[in-house]
Amino acid sequence: MEHAAAHTGGASIKAYMVVFGTLAVLTVIEVLIPLRFGFPKNVQVILLVFLALWKALLVALYYMHLRYEPQRLKWMVIAPLPLAVILVMAVLTEF
């Protein structure tokens, strides 16, 4: 396990807490967007998707330690994402 620990122990407690704070703040901003700010709908959608992806990325990189994993594991992890996008986008054009 020693070498595995060397891989995953990259993030410090401080980093964990910073990510936690960022996630919390981003969530507050997210909730305020539809409820308080009167942006046009499509601006809202773009902002919200951006924020959600930002949060998701933070969780994957720091909490799931992807940032400290070998490069090839990172490649493997993003492999199915294009498929997901293709499925949703192609079928959306249908309706």
Could you list the residues that contact other proteins (CB under 8 A)? 1-5, 7-9, 11, 13, 16-17, 19-20, 23-24, 27-28, 30-31, 33-35, 44-45, 48-49, 51-52, 55-56, 59-60, 62-64, 69-70, 72-73, 76-77, 79-81, 83-84, 86-88, 90-95
Positive or negative CA dihedral for 54, 55, 56, 59?
A: positive
Q: How far is the CB of 40 from other proteins (least distance, A)?
A: 13
* Tokens (6 digits) for 67: 């940032």
Q: How far is the CB of 85 from other proteins (least distance, A)?
A: 9
CA distances in angstroms from 76 to 52, 68, 82, listed in the order given: 22, 14, 12
Closer of 40 and 80 to other proteins (Cβ): 80
Positive or negative CA dihedral for 62, 65, 70, 76?
A: negative
Q: How far is the CB of 77 from other proteins (least distance, A)?
A: 6
Closer of 40 and 94 to other proteins (Cβ): 94
Neighbours of 62 (CB within 10 A): 20
